[in-house]
A = this chain, B = another copy of it.
Amino acid sequence: MINKLIEKIKETQAPIVVGLDPMLDYIPEQVKEKAYEEFGETLEGAAWAAWEFNKNIIDTTYDLIPAVKPQIAMYEQFGLPGLLSYQKTIDYARSKGLVIIGDVKRGDIGSTSQAYATAHIGRIKIGSNEFRAFDEDFATINPYFGTDGIKPFLDVAKEENTGMFILVKTSNKSSGEFQDRLVDGRPLYEIVGEQVSKWGEEHMGNEYSYVGAVVGATYPQMAVTLRKLMPKTYFLVPGYGAQGGTAADLKPCFNEDGLGAIVNSSRGIIAAYKNEKYAEFGEENYADASRQAVIDMINDIKSVF
């Protein structure tokens, strides 16, 4: 899957991923109204609106991008109907040839991580049958448990040619509270990063590992160090745009081959129609605004290379 992701990045010339985070505030009124008319102001109604919204954004952007990253929390809040929309979004994105990064941030002790790995990037055996529950290509993983929380994800990923992005340095303001604490004179995120790089050696693609890292765009100086520490690790980079990261901030996340990073934007793309810059599109044409925002994001990133 890391090979396919890189191939698609080269093909589209777009090292970006669209974050499909359908918060109710981001979904245009007419989409919600239609959904509520049919399903009522219910979990089903909200979930259907989320799916309709995603589908239209996928339809108008899939030819420009390599991947999408649905954030499962945004679906989980709508309960089971929401998770059905999560699943439909994954299936639909795959039918359009997109790589799917399930932003699930799972992680636990061994046997539990095994179950999460099975759910998201693996297969479950039931009697003599096998099923893929959510069927993402990559999942994001929390490293707090250490190696035996990660190992089951690695084992499953090796068997299935799927992959993961492990949290190293997150994009949020208080990420430093624990991640930046000095351990033997070095910040914890570096220690985690080194470990991610080692885990990654066990599951290599052609040029990069199936085991990537989450490295926030909001901390470019730290990205410089991490890039050196983890040369064969793909970075999934949140924090561009709405969270404050600029194109120039992204540069240290990339290697000299122009690869090594894929930059996420969620709100900046899916809710582009709410941005003054794209107001001319109007709420009705929200998906076209998203397409334009994708084009602008690609050009913005290109401008610093």
Contact = CB atoms under 8 A, between A and B. Distances in A.
A248 interface: no
Interface string A168-199: 00111111111101111000100110010000
A36 interface: yes
A195 B176 CA distance: 13
A7 interface: no
A145 B173 CA distance: 9
Interface stretch (A110-118, A223-231, A290-298): A110-118
A265 to B, nearest CB: 14
A287 interface: no
Contact of A146 (B77, B149, B179, B184): B179
A108 B74 CA distance: 12
Interface residues of A, number: 73
A113 B173 CA distance: 14
Contact of A23 (B110, B111, B181, B191): B111
A-B pairs with the 3 shortest C-beta distances? A41-B127, A146-B177, A146-B174
5 contacts: A23-B111, A76-B116, A77-B115, A77-B116, A80-B87
Given A42-B126, A144-B179, 6 more contacts: A76-B119, A105-B107, A107-B142, A148-B173, A177-B195, A181-B184
